[in-house]
Structure 1
Amino acid sequence: NARPRLFTFPYACGSFSSLLQCVKHLPDDVEVWLFEYPGHGSRHAEPPAESMQQIIDEEVQAILPLLDKPTVFFGHSMGSHVMFKVAQALYAAGQPIPIHLIASGRTPPHMLHPDRQALTAGGAEAVRQKMEMKMVEWGMGPEKLGEETHRRQLSLLVECCKILGSPCPPTSIPAPITVYWGEFELLNNMALIRQWGELSATNQFKLREFQGGHYYFNEGGACLSVVRECISEDVFKYAPAPPPAAARSSTPTTSTLRYEIEDPTGA
């Protein structure tokens, strides 16, 4: 009954599969649930979310039936903000909260990102051009992704940029927070990153740095292996039961989440 559930929250232009490689080869006892935002991936036929609150409300409703076991949240970039706001909503509603929050590649949600104002200034075309430059800086240009994939992900990134909104209230929750960070991130303000620790009411904060940039988990090879080992360790770090034996599965038990639980096979 103590089998932990790991919920993943993808980045702005990602889909449920974007973080799948990070959670492969976890111990058999880990149950993985992958969120899919409206308009992304398998939900591409739906209109994108009109607000951050829409995403939060949807994901809270999806998670509520699954809180009978220990949970761990793992979000990357925008997904880090989404997961924390979902945790805040659960806490405010008196629901069970995650035993551990893993925030990756994003400044804390109660602080204004240094680039936020500059990136969103100007009209729609100016914002689109700035987002396209960001994608190139992140190694996600058309020469890397292909023209069609780049165009689609750029559109999603622009839509998500519209709904990121203002910093959230600095309401801490009684859960440990671990931050994952690429050592070659364009923003290298460690003092700002460490302010994630202010959001842990238990004063349990840890920073892990990985070789690579914003998408350090796409580096492959030894770096990806280290990322997987760290996630495995962090999933069980605060679990009520000790980790299982070293047996690992090649494919974790996964499901995709939306307002209603879909794709129970994880296909």
Structure 2
Amino acid sequence: MFQEKTPWLSALPAVNDQIRIFCFPFAGGGASSYRDWQKFFPKNVGVYPIQLPGRENRISDKPFTDMVDLVAEISKVLRPYLTKPFVFFGHSLGARIAFEVVRTLRRKWQLEPCHLIVSGSRAPHIPEPKPLHHLTDEAFVNELRRFSGTPEAILQNKELMELFIPILRADFMVDETYVHLPEEPIACPISAFGGTADPEADPRELEAWRQHTSNRFNLEMIAGDHFFLQSNKDVLLSFVKDIVLKYSTARMIG
């Protein structure tokens, strides 16, 4: 039986789902990044973005700064909703969070997704080469420009950045203090996606995800920078849809 509605999910999973996709956001991102993904899938494929504390409707909640604590909480929250086949999708920081949640679910409950889809992310054993969570606010904002995900007008808006910097800094701390600990490769397939002009995750760093699964691995490069997730969304979703529907008897509508 499902629990009451949780702030970690924008909606409770439907009982008639054939398969569920749980989407993990990038640093500073919220569940709204995946707001319109549901319309790309049949009705019996449920898309459930995860809402981390400190953003959007959870703006007053204290953000996590430690990967271990964050993964433990997400795993506990998701456990009741993993009664149907499920797929994890994560972009950038979200990919590494998703990967660690997969390993936690395996250790604690012997559960694994049908597929792990990672996007715009170095393999988990490759540390961030240019950490920025410790920088002064001015230097921190300047470094954010390399990700091309925050409009310049926002970066130059002092009041808005006073609101966003603590959230972003916390997320980068989660990412940059994360230490990958070796375990047996996960049993589900991994599909990795990268942007052709993304300096944060080059093909070699994406290909390195291969060693983390004992199953199939494939890599696709999509035109765009670190946020091809947004700029080339239709192409990415076409790939994601093909992966997900392999695990469902559902067929596209229209």
- What range describes the TM-score normalised by the shorter chain of this pair? 0.7 to 0.9
Residue 32 of structure 1: how far off its partner (Å): 1.4
Spell out the pairing of 1:101-112 with structure 2 (5 A cutoff).
101-112=116-127
Q: Which amino acid aligns with 1:152?
A: L
Q: TM-score, normalised by structure 2?
A: 0.83
Residue 178 of structure 1: aligned partner: 191
Residue 2 of structure 1: how far off its partner (Å): 6.9
The one of 220, 223, 233 equivalent to 2:242 is: 233
Report SS of the residue matched to 2:69: helix
Out of 27-36 and 162-171, give the one that drifted further.
162-171
Residue 155 of structure 1: aligned partner: 166
1:124–1:136 CA distance, 2 compared to 1 (3 A): closer
Q: Give me the whole-angstrom Cα distance separating, in 1, the residues matched to 2:223 and 2:155.
A: 21
Residue 151 of structure 1: how far off its partner (Å): 4.6
- Percent of aligned positions with the same letter in both sequences? 26
Q: Contact 2:122/2:201 (CA < 8 Å) preserved in 1?
A: no
**Count of residues in correspondence between the two structures:** 235
Residues 1:189 and 2:202 aligned together: yes
Unpaired segments ≥5 residues, structure 2: 1-15
Residue 211 of structure 1: how far off its partner (Å): 1.4
Out of 78-87 and 92-101, give the one that drifted further.
92-101
Q: Give me the whole-angstrom Cα distance separating, in 1, the residues matched to 2:37 and 2:26.
A: 13
Spell out the pairing of 1:19-58 with structure 2 (5 A cutoff).
19-58=34-73
Q: Give me the whole-angstrom Cα distance separating, in 1, the residues matched to 2:59 and 2:163.
A: 10
1:126-171 CA-to-partner distances (Å, cap 9, x unmatched) read: xx44432333233314326772555533332211122222331232
Residue 257 of structure 1: aligned partner: none
Spell out the pairing of 1:110-189 with structure 2 (5 A cutoff).
110-116=125-131, 119=132, 124-125=135-136, 128-139=137-148, 140-143=150-153, 147=157, 148-164=159-175, 165-171=177-183, 172-187=185-200, 189=202
Q: Which amino acid aligns with 2:90?
A: G
Report SS of the residue matched to 1:161: helix
Residue 246 of structure 1: aligned partner: 252
Q: TM-score, normalised by structure 1?
A: 0.80
Report SS of the residue matched to 1:49: coil
Runs of 4+ in 1 over 4 A off after TM superposition: 148-151
Q: Contact 1:73/1:98 (CA < 8 Å) preserved in 2?
A: yes
Residue 57 of structure 1: how far off its partner (Å): 1.4
Q: Give me the whole-angstrom Cα distance separating, in 2, the residues matched to 1:167 and 1:53.
A: 9
Q: Which amino acid aligns with 2:218?
A: K
1:130–1:181 CA distance, 2 compared to 1 (3 A): farther
Q: Give me the whole-angstrom Cα distance separating, in 1, the residues matched to 2:75 and 2:108.
A: 10
Residue 256 of structure 1: aligned partner: none
1:167–1:22 CA distance, 2 compared to 1 (3 A): farther
Q: Which amino acid aligns with 1:201?
A: S
Q: Contact 1:60/1:89 (CA < 8 Å) preserved in 2?
A: yes
Q: Give me the whole-angstrom Cα distance separating, in 2, the residues matched to 1:152 and 1:106.
A: 26
Report SS of the residue matched to 1:93: helix
Q: Give me the whole-angstrom Cα distance separating, in 1, the residues matched to 2:17 and 2:217.
A: 23
1:129–1:201 CA distance, 2 compared to 1 (3 A): farther
Residue 225 of structure 1: how far off its partner (Å): 1.8
Residues 1:198 and 2:194 aligned together: no
Report SS of the residue matched to 2:109: coil
Q: Contact 1:141/1:150 (CA < 8 Å) preserved in 2?
A: no
Cα RMSD over matched residues? 2.2
Residues 1:214 and 2:220 aligned together: no
